[in-house]
Structure 1
């Protein structure tokens, strides 16, 4: 089957070829009425239009290819949504996304970067497995570059991360609203940005309610046996009635400790995690109330920001069809995005009536 051309799209719609070209090359803003541009995009998708990459790159000195580099994120349960958000946004602008995973190995990372450069990528997305400050390889700094779920240790590069402080505040507020008087925080034994922000939000919420911070209710154990032992000790010695857990894995430990103590989650105590990890949050009984991190939206924003840098223009009016959440403005350098609390049954008073 012969490839569909811009001329055929124009003739079928009764518009000029130049109008179709402006829309399909992402240069229609301020030139073509939005409703007409939308119709042109829909017709192009219906007909299966595919741009001539070689001809386009020769005219513009761009390949319309983006490089997506991650450390271990492609091996996590959340990678799909992050990559899908980036891919959908790239597709909406007529770009292709090439993804590589470095397994956290510097030598492999350098090799993969050079491989992507050989493909002539126009810019890079640099993603980390969880929100943290990171040092970006110098070899990337000659290209348009955006960090996803990470921030530049030097504070210079554009990035998007979850609003970690807001997460901590929202979870603690929810537990207090449920009537909890002694809210514990089970954190991480590492001062990454996610830990610092969530703990700060926890303290801010307590302070806003006139509740003094009780250091006995805060633990930051290593993952594994230590986490389980320290959680059980916290529960038996200080009897908190609410638990804000750094992630869903820590919340699982609270469920286990509660069982050992003869307590019921959702009846005797309340538990909230972070991640909305399907294997954990949906299989625990009762199901775990948790915060869903906006991986799809971060991937989407990061790609749109990168394309705005590549093309040196505002692309705020174009969104992938699945993106319903309000995204941060693209003129931000270091953006934070809000997260959704997913209510289930692990908070006292929230169990469904049978």
Structure 2
């Protein structure tokens, strides 16, 4: 195994200089050309750091704790963990993940991560919501993922719920839809509040009048299907913005019962880019992709910057579907999500194939 001493001998500098460079503490202390030569030599000799020795020396384990409620067991939200893992790996950290079923075992799982000596925590929820952060995390660097603390003091990241709805509704406006309905969520959620506001604002900016009769806030199953069915009969919408892809299925079902073709007679936009719905509905559903990977990646980078008291602006920026928000911007940081065009909106390239010859 190559040692720092061997690198020092090869480059003609002191061991302390090599240590500063390889531990990322050379800025302002070591000339840039010297630092570059040390890194080049270390790579050439196959140098790898010793995590145990480093943790004993610095008091840091370079382990991040990820505490989630349902996220770890939800397939399409696993991108949060993947994003956090990728960022942690690039920055030289490991990620330990625990999944909780609510406050009942949350403190116990957090205590387990503490026994492993984690340097900081990410605390994630399945759907964007306000949270009361457990007191046991008060003394650790902490970043919230898809959640916001009620006091607004803790760094956090979430989808830009308002822009999700605004962009989706404007897409329907651009497609020529005259009566655009919103199939929302009948639960008090941050996402519902933001998406309803974005839907309303888009209509007003397009010169339309917001009509409460075109809003159907539903939960799921039979009652939801009946509510959307009644919306069709009562208001005859030609465009639908749906709170998520699952609710878009009710629109497809009701359209089919009436002999209407989605993408030609009615246009539909969902949210999630949930693989089961977005790829199996026919025609395929135009949808806004939630930024699970982006939130996980951003959160891990932000957490490391807190642990190391380091400017995160120099961290690698991955190629993501949605651009990452600034690390030092407003709190919560909001991701402007990407609308994925498929065939469920009239006038799209894909929907043109639905038109009769």
Structure 1 match to 2:217: 220
Structure 2 match to 1:343: 341
Deviation at 1:311, TM superposition (A): 1.1
CA RMSD between the two structures:
2.6
Question: Which deviates further from its counterpart, 27-36 or 48-57?
Answer: 27-36
Deviation at 1:313, TM superposition (A): 1.9
Say which SS state the counterpart of residue 132 (structure 1) adopts.
strand
Structure 2 match to 1:208: 205
Paired with 2:31 and 2:195, the residues of 1 have a C-alpha distance of: 44
Q: C-alpha deviations, 1:144-166, integer Å up to 9, x for none?
A: 10000110122211100011101
Structure 2 match to 1:260: 257
User: 2:78 aligned to 69, 77, 80, which one?
Assistant: 80
Q: What are structure 1's unaligned runs of at least 5 residues? A: none
Paired with 2:249 and 2:102, the residues of 1 have a C-alpha distance of: 30
User: 1:241 aligned to 230, 233, 238, which one?
Assistant: 238
Contact 1:24 1:94 in 2 (8 A): no
Contact 1:25 1:94 in 2 (8 A): no
Give the total of aligned pairs. Answer: 351
Structure 2 match to 1:317: 314
Map 1:96-115 to 2 at 5 A. 96-102=94-100, 104-115=101-112
Paired with 1:266 and 1:89, the residues of 2 have a C-alpha distance of: 39
Deviation at 1:236, TM superposition (A): 1.8
Contact 1:308 1:314 in 2 (8 A): yes
Paired with 1:34 and 1:175, the residues of 2 have a C-alpha distance of: 53
Say which SS state the counterpart of residue 313 (structure 2) adopts.
coil
Q: C-alpha deviations, 1:196-226, integer Å up to 9, x for none?
A: 1111000111111221111111011121111
Say which SS state the counterpart of residue 316 (structure 1) adopts.
helix
User: 2:269 aligned to 272, 275, 281, which one?
Assistant: 272
Distance 1:253-1:19 versus aligned 2 partners, 3 A rule:
farther
Distance 1:285-1:331 versus aligned 2 partners, 3 A rule:
same
Question: Which deviates further from its counterpart, 20-29 or 52-61?
Answer: 20-29
Deviation at 1:227, TM superposition (A): 0.9
Q: C-alpha deviations, 1:309-351, integer Å up to 9, x for none?
A: 1111212211265557532222234211110000000001115
Paired with 1:182 and 1:38, the residues of 2 have a C-alpha distance of: 62
Distance 1:275-1:179 versus aligned 2 partners, 3 A rule:
same
Please tell me whether Structure 1 or Structure 2 has the larger radius of gyration of its CA atoms: 2
Deviation at 1:21, TM superposition (A): 3.7
Map 1:12-27 to 2 at 5 A. 21-27=19-25
Contact 1:26 1:93 in 2 (8 A): no
Deviation at 1:50, TM superposition (A): 4.0
Distance 1:141-1:265 versus aligned 2 partners, 3 A rule:
same
Map 1:133-152 to 2 at 5 A. 133-152=130-149
Q: What are structure 2's unaligned runs of at least 5 residues? A: none
Contact 2:322 2:336 in 1 (8 A): no
Paired with 1:193 and 1:41, the residues of 2 have a C-alpha distance of: 47
